[in-house]
Chain A
Amino acid sequence: MSVRTTELVIIGAGPAGICAALEAASHGVKTTLVDRGEELGGQLIKQTHKFFGWHKKSAGTRGVLIAKKLAGEVLNNENITLLNSTEALGYYDDGTLLVETPRGIDRVLGDRLIVATGASERMLLFPGNDLPGVYGAGAVQTLMNVHGVRPGDSVLMIGSGNIGLIVSYQLLQAGVRVAAVVEAMPTIGGYAVHASKIRRLGVPIMTRHTIKEAYGKEQVEGAVIWELDENWNGIPGTEKDLEVDVVCLAIGLTPLAELLWQCGAEMAYIPELGGFVPLYDETMETTRKGVFVAGDVAGIEEASTAMAAGRMAGLSAARSLGKVSDLDYSRLRNEIAGELEGLRSGPASAKILSGIAKMRAMLQSVKEAAAVSEAEPANRPAKQAASEPTDAGDLPKAGARDSEAQGNNGSKSEEAVGA
Chain B
Amino acid sequence: MSTLVTTGVPSAQDIAGVTPPEERRARGPYATIECFQPIPCDPCHHSCRFGAIQEFEDINDIPKMDWSKCTGCALCVAACPGLAIFVVDETYSETECLIAMPYEFVPLPEKGQPVKLTDRAGIVVADGIVQRVVAGRKPAGTPVVWVSAPKRLATVVRGFILRKEG
Contact = CB atoms under 8 A, between A and B. Distances in A.
Are A and B in contact, CB atoms below 8 Å, in the complex? Answer: yes
Interface of A: 48-55, 59-62, 64-65, 172-173, 186-188, 191-203, 205, 207, 304, 342-343, 345-348
Contacts of B35: 192-193
B8 A187 contact: no
B59 A54 contact: yes
B16 interface: no
B122 A52 contact: no
B8 A195 contact: yes
A52 B9 contact: no
A199 B122 contact: yes
A62 B79 CA distance: 11
B60 A345 contact: yes
A200 B120 contact: yes
B6 A55 contact: no
17 contacts: A51-B81, A52-B41, A55-B42, A60-B43, A60-B47, A60-B79, A62-B140, A188-B8, A191-B82, A192-B4, A196-B84, A200-B158, A202-B118, A203-B122, A205-B7, A342-B59, A346-B40
Contacts of A188: 5-8
Contact of B42 (A54, A195, A348): A54
Given A60-B81, A61-B140, A196 B43 contact: no
B105 A55 contact: no
A62 B81 CA distance: 9
**Chain B binding surface SS class:** loop
Contacts of B159: 200-201
B43 A55 contact: yes
B112 interface: no
Nearest to B101: A200
Contacts of B66: none
A61 B43 CA distance: 10
Interface in B10-63: 10, 34-43, 45-47, 58-60
Interface in B85-131: 104-105, 118-123
A197 B82 contact: yes
Interface residues on B, range: 35 or more
B40 to A, nearest CB: 5
A50 B76 CA distance: 13
A284 B102 CA distance: 40
A194 B84 CA distance: 9
Nearest to B60: A346
Contact of B81 (A50, A65, A342, A345): A50
A192 B34 CA distance: 10
Given A60-B79, A196-B8, A201-B122, 15 more contacts: A52-B39, A53-B41, A60-B47, A187-B5, A188-B8, A191-B39, A191-B82, A193-B37, A193-B39, A193-B83, A196-B34, A197-B83, A202-B118, A342-B40, A345-B60
Contacts of B36: 192
A342 to B, nearest CB: 6
Given A62-B140, A199-B9, A203-B122, A191 B59 contact: no
Nearest to A304: B40
A186 B79 CA distance: 31
Contacts of B47: 60
Contacts of B82: 52, 191, 193-194, 197
Nearest to B38: A346
Nearest to B157: A200
B166 interface: no
A353 B45 CA distance: 27
Contacts of A55: 42-43, 45-46
A64 B27 CA distance: 41
Nearest to A55: B46
